[in-house]
Amino acid sequence: MKTFKMMYFEFDIEQETIQIPLEDGILINQENSFNVWIIEAFIKKDYQQLFDKLLASKEVFDARAVISFPDNDPAHFTLAVYAVEPIQDHLSVLFKGTITRHRQNYAEQLLAQLVEDGLEGEALQQQFKVGLHYRPPLRSK
């Protein structure tokens, strides 16, 4: 098994992308034949109702997490909520799922999104440079 620090986490539910501000988070690659990952997000208790609902429904959803360093491209996962545990004013939310391979890298996705937004010429170049440096989350398709 290998563990990694989670820097950023977002997921898609009902055609909406939800970014969860992390207090802390880890990812565990179980390195088994099923390619299973366990993700723990330590977050504010404000999200308990959402995660209790996802736990009860056993809904599977797409998610993205930035691993180890803020400048890394997001890793894509297919996950379900496995457990929700209150800890004082926070929650520990466990997810279980698999990593999915996306061939398109962050720069290509960013460029496609900026072109889709109608940018061109100098404005496109400027926003592309800013996006590569600050790496804002990309919209899901």
CA angle 136, 52, 139 (to 5 degrees): 20
> pLDDT per residue over 17-60, tens digit each?
999 999 999 999 998 888 899 999 999 999 999 999 999 999 99
Nearest to 27 by CA among 73, 75, 70: 75
pLDDT at 134: 67
Instruction: Using a cut of 0.85, tell me whether the model's pTM lies above it.
Output: no
Q: Report the largest interatomic distance among the alpha carbons of the chain, rounded to a whole angstrom.
A: 51
* pLDDT of 102 higher than 80: no
Cα(64)–Cα(51) distance, rounded to whole angstroms? 16
In the three-class reduction of DSSP (H, G, I as helix; E, B as strand; rest coil), residue 115 is classed as: helix
List strand residue ranges (DSSP E) for 14-139, in order: 16-19, 24-29, 36-44, 61-67, 75-87, 90-100
Contact between 45 and 90 (Cβ < 8 Å):
yes
* pLDDT of 71 higher than 70: yes
Please enumerate in sequence order all residues whose Cβ is within 8 A of that of 135, keeping only pairs 6 or more positions apart, or say none: 66, 70, 71, 106
